[in-house]
Amino acid sequence: MLKFLPRRLLQLVPTLFLVSVLIFGLQQLLPGDPALVMAGEERDPAVIEQIRKQYRLDQPLPVQYFHWIKGVLTGDLGESMRIKQPVARLVTEKLPVTVQLATMAMLFAVLIGIPAGVLSAVKKGSAWDVGANVFALWGLSTPNFWLGIMLIFLFSVQLGWLPASGFVSPFEDFGQAIATTVMPAFVLGNAIAAVLMRHMRSAMLQAIGSDYVRTARAKGLVERTVILKHALRNALTPVITLGALEFGTLLSGAVLTEQVFSIPGFGKLIVDAVFNRDYAVVQGVVLVTASVYIVLNLVADVLYVLVNPRLRDQG
Amino acid sequence: MKTARLLCGFAVGLGFAGAALAQSTLRIGLAEDPDVLDPTLARTYVGRIVFAALCDKLFDIDEKLNVVGQLALSQQASTDGKIVTIKLRPGVKFHDGEPFNAEAAKFSLERHLNMQGSFRKAEIAQVDKVEVVDPLTIRLLLKAPFAPLIAQLTDRAGMMVSPKAAQALGDKFGTAPVCAGPYKFGERVPQDRIVLERFKDYWDKDRVFIDRIVYRPIQDSTVRLANLKSGQLDLLERLLATDVEEVKKDAKLRLATGTELGYQGITMNIGNGERANNPLGKNPKVRQAFELSLDRDAINQVVFNGLNKTNNQWISPLNPYYMPKYPTPKRDVAKAKALLKEAGVAMPLALDFMVPNNPESRAVAEVMQSMAAEAGFDLKIRITEFATSLNEAEKGNYQLYFLAWSGRTDPDGNIFSMATCSGPLNYGRYCDPTVDELLTKARTATSSPERKLIYEQAAAEILPKGGILYLYHRTLLFAHTTRLAGFKVMPDGLIRVTDLKLQ
């Protein structure tokens, strides 16, 4: 049944190799010399020279790549030039933060987007439909950083209900964890909810107009059952795929939202590293994110095969 | 029974919570995340703010920029200026309980001098040898007299680290720094927080009133202020000039200001590559015309609500080395035009003006562009990301470069590297052997009046012909809640945590 799996696993090797070359190569295109940035305000030539030597910046690119990839293969992602901490440690510190934020954002997106999409399809042309469409338009067109700052002003500065920024782990203090994540998660989830709502609506409309729904109605089933058990179930498949993709994007870090709410996640880590030309951090984090994405894709493919018997023989 | 046990547990829990609440915590909002917390390897301004609570130095500065003892009690230079004897404070302990003495001071200074990757080496490179005279006295033997030495020891080069911890951790010392400041290292979550705890055995513990300090990097200034207003922070640095009125209007907030040690200026490409071959780079008269086309006060008024201190020198008018004999020239468009005519320049003179990407710099550049246009300069503003701009400056790919310097306690730190022929920060490659000689002489002269005289002679050359057009000194802007008492802005802009109280 999963005959294709060994082949797909083998395909991972050249894919990851290509990704690593791309990450390394694209970064070299960034203007600016990391040694100059790292040398502090004084920029003493001896110090610059020393940094170049220490981080092998004075060596040809293939040599630099070889040293990096050799480390990666042994589990060493290198060390941050700026704060002198292992990149692997930074990644393991930031990953739970990003996962927590992404999960809550998805929760918001699903809780808002799916019911709104269903409602708007079932009551097509009604005030509900218009309202849901307006919401979708708002969600898609509102910039995250603006919405974030507005929420901070309303709920933190004016009302004083929620902390304006920061991050608390749920294992440390569950209440505080929710309080610090709710605003940024809403900001992120809001935009995704809009996308999910639009897809849910069109998938539902298609399902409602299909023969099996007509048959179900002809059998005399209650409308609620027709919608929830027959139409929704089938309409959900493309929406789930979309949701999974959006979740993957969230895991790679929500740069602007993390900046506005000062959340120490992947997005903030990458942006700061790019501005500081902290190459090892950029390479390490992007490599991890890309690998997670590739593996998630593989998992999705496996799941499709398990769910859809028609795909089993095709591999 | 079960209920009683539960109640008991709850009461104990409450007791702990009460104890935790009774601890006072000062939360400070920083504009950036500091780099490594090792005084030898650190290089950022924001890192120095954290060090001010973590690592005491041999010397410090007071509000009037005088050097005062911190871990040192006194210093005495020999008549030829080549030997400096420093008496150390007795009864000082590092955070790990190790004693601070002459051996520890020697170790720290030698670490700054010899450690691979040390950023302090250049600052105290004139120190040839460190000798222990007695348990509380060290002697620094210099290669040549070096007047800025003690001023260097008021910053990271003067920070003392525990030899035991430094030897154990090596280049990982920054992950758990052990110094002799009022607060000891607690924890660090990069990009989220740095937590310091009160050090009970601090030598000046009677002036420490807060139990814990949490530094939180929040880059966006609007969000930083929102955090202060919502009570998530008690103090923040680098408030925007445009937010000053908002802070003043808020009854729960206080504004604190000071003038920076550094300056904001325009580096002009005089001799760095092909792009220096233009009338501005080659003719000092054109540079003078450019200066006369600008109205520093108007720039200050328009962009900074008049908060900054306009000036034409590398040190502010509040500095003892300020030279009143060179007042800031007023804007004079007619004279600027006449100078350009005299220099035979075809107008408009187009110039590539590289400006780092931040809102205030962009605004200043635009105001300057319209002012200079009236005299015949056509400034082509090129907004460039900071790291890229450094590279471009180094390569000479610019004609005008808008650049700030954070400033040093001694005037040497604001001019030597920028105006000497081989100075690492001399991006315009301004080079005058007379100036080199004078600035080197000012380093070796031992008395302040003598040094001031030498700087005046150097300024006579540098100000009309040099590679940097000084514009203003920024006002250091801090905002804090009314809960915080005892906060004073120091000239170096670093937050001193002793004497601070939370009400």
The pLDDT tens digits of the residues spanning A80-118 come to 888 888 999 998 888 889 888 999 999 999 999 999 998
Chain A residues with beta carbon closer than 8 angstroms to that of B192? 166-167, 262, 264
Residue of higher predicted confidence among B3 and B494: B494
Chain B residues with beta carbon closer than 8 angstroms to that of A93? 189-190
Q: What is the structure's pLDDT at A311? A: 62
Q: Which pLDDT band, with edges at 50, 70 and 90, does A131 fall under?
A: confident
Residue A245: count of CB within 10 angstroms of its CB: 15
Residue of higher predicted confidence among B336 and A231: B336
Closest CA of chain A from B450, distance in Å: 26
Q: What is the structure's pLDDT at B216? A: 95
Mutate to test the interface with B, among A48, A49, A84 (most CBs of B within 10 A): A84
Across the interface, do B217 and A156 touch by the CB < 8 Å criterion?
Answer: no
Arithmetic mean of pLDDT, B298-324: 93
Q: What is the structure's pLDDT at B20? A: 42
Helix (H) or strand (E) holding B275: none
Across the interface, do B391 and A277 touch by the CB < 8 Å criterion?
Answer: no
| A84, A165, A277: residue with CB nearest B36 | A84
Q: Which pLDDT band, with edges at 50, 70 and 90, does B16 fall under?
A: very low
Across the interface, do B220 and A163 touch by the CB < 8 Å criterion?
Answer: no
How far apart CA B375 and CA B292 sit, in angstroms, is 9
Q: What is the structure's pLDDT at A132? A: 86
Closest CA of chain A from B348, distance in Å: 31
For B223, the token pair is 């969000």
Across the interface, do A165 and B218 touch by the CB < 8 Å criterion?
Answer: yes
How far apart CA B72 and CA B203 sit, in angstroms, is 12
Lowest mean pLDDT among A40-49, B48-57, B97-106, B423-432: A40-49
Q: pLDDT digits over B245-283, tens only?
A: 999 999 999 999 999 999 999 999 999 999 999 999 999
C-beta of residue A142 within 8 angstroms of C-beta of residue A222: no
Across the interface, do B218 and A156 touch by the CB < 8 Å criterion?
Answer: no
DSSP B209: -
| A85, A261, A277: residue with CB nearest B175 | A85
Q: Which pLDDT band, with edges at 50, 70 and 90, does A2 fall under?
A: low
Closest CA of chain A from B371, distance in Å: 30
Chain B residues with beta carbon closer than 8 angstroms to that of A37? 387, 390
For B209, the token pair is 């009133």
Question: In this complex, how many residue pairs, one in chain A and one in chain B, have their CB atoms less than 8 Å apart?
Answer: 135
Arithmetic mean of pLDDT, B332-357: 94
Question: What angle do the packed helices A174-208 and A232-251 form, to 10 degrees?
Answer: 140
For A212, the token pair is 């099996």
Q: What is the ipTM of this complex?
A: 0.79
Q: What is the structure's pLDDT at A254? A: 80
Residue B4: count of CB within 10 angstroms of its CB: 8
Bridge-based pairing state of the strands B25-30 and B212-217: parallel
Across the interface, do A149 and B226 touch by the CB < 8 Å criterion?
Answer: yes
Lowest mean pLDDT among A37-51, A106-120, A167-181, A301-315: A301-315
Across the interface, do A84 and B175 touch by the CB < 8 Å criterion?
Answer: yes
For B317, the token pair is 């008018």
By CA distance, what is B219's nearest residue in A? A259
Q: What is the structure's pLDDT at A81? A: 85
Across the interface, do A43 and B424 touch by the CB < 8 Å criterion?
Answer: yes
Closest CA of chain B from A111, distance in Å: 28
Helix (H) or strand (E) holding A233: helix A232-251
Q: What is the mean pLDDT of chain A?
A: 85
How far apart CA A249 and CA A268 sit, in angstroms, is 15
Find residue B400's DSSP bridge partners.
B268, B353
Closest CA of chain A from B418, distance in Å: 10
- Burial (0-12, 13-18, 19+ Cβ within 10 Å), A69: middle
Q: Which pLDDT band, with edges at 50, 70 and 90, does A314 fall under?
A: low
Closest CA of chain B from A31, distance in Å: 5
The Cα angle at residue B430 between residues B426 and B431, in degrees rounded to 5:
110
Chain A residues with beta carbon closer than 8 angstroms to that of B173? none
Q: Which long-range contacts (CB under 8 A, 24 or more apart) does A170-177 make?
A: A170/A100, A177/A100
Q: pLDDT digits over B193-209, tens only?
A: 999 999 999 999 999 99
Chain A residues with beta carbon closer than 8 angstroms to that of B36? 82-84
Q: What is the structure's pLDDT at A124? A: 84
Bridge-based pairing state of the strands B475-481 and B400-405: unpaired
Q: What is the structure's pLDDT at B413? A: 92
| A82, A259, A261: residue with CB nearest B35 | A82
Question: Of A256, A143, A262, whose CA–CA distance to B227 is shortest?
Answer: A262
How far apart CA B122 and CA A245 sit, in angstroms, is 52
Q: Which pLDDT band, with edges at 50, 70 and 90, does A307 fall under?
A: low
How far apart CA B234 and CA B197 sit, in angstroms, is 17
Residue of higher predicted confidence among B102 and A43: B102
| B38, B117, B387: residue with CB nearest A50 | B117
Q: What is the structure's pLDDT at B1? A: 42
Across the interface, do B226 and A160 touch by the CB < 8 Å criterion?
Answer: no
Across the interface, do A40 and B174 touch by the CB < 8 Å criterion?
Answer: no
Q: pLDDT digits over A244-278, tens only?
A: 788 878 877 688 888 888 888 888 888 888 888 88
C-beta of residue A239 within 8 angstroms of C-beta of residue A247: no
**Strand arrangement, sheet containing B72-77:** B72-77, B83-88, B137-142, B127-134
Chain B residues with beta carbon closer than 8 angstroms to that of A38? 43
Arithmetic mean of pLDDT, B164-178: 95
Q: What is the structure's pLDDT at A271? A: 85
Chain B residues with beta carbon closer than 8 angstroms to that of A84? 36, 38, 41, 171-172, 174-175
Mutate to test the interface with A, among B220, B260, B263, B410 (most CBs of A within 10 A): B220
Question: Of A167, A269, A174, whose CA–CA distance to B193 is shortest?
Answer: A167
Closest CA of chain A from B330, distance in Å: 31
Chain A residues with beta carbon closer than 8 angstroms to that of B43? 38-42
How far apart CA A177 and CA A173 sit, in angstroms, is 6
Question: Of A134, A148, A211, whose CA–CA distance to A184 is shortest?
Answer: A148
Q: Evaluate if residue A125 carries a pLDDT over 80.
A: yes
Across the interface, do A47 and B121 touch by the CB < 8 Å criterion?
Answer: yes
| A47, A163, A269: residue with CB nearest B191 | A269
By CA distance, what is A46's nearest residue in B? B122
Over its C-alpha atoms, chain A yields an Rg (Å, rounded) of 24
Bridge-based pairing state of the strands B72-77 and B67-69: unpaired
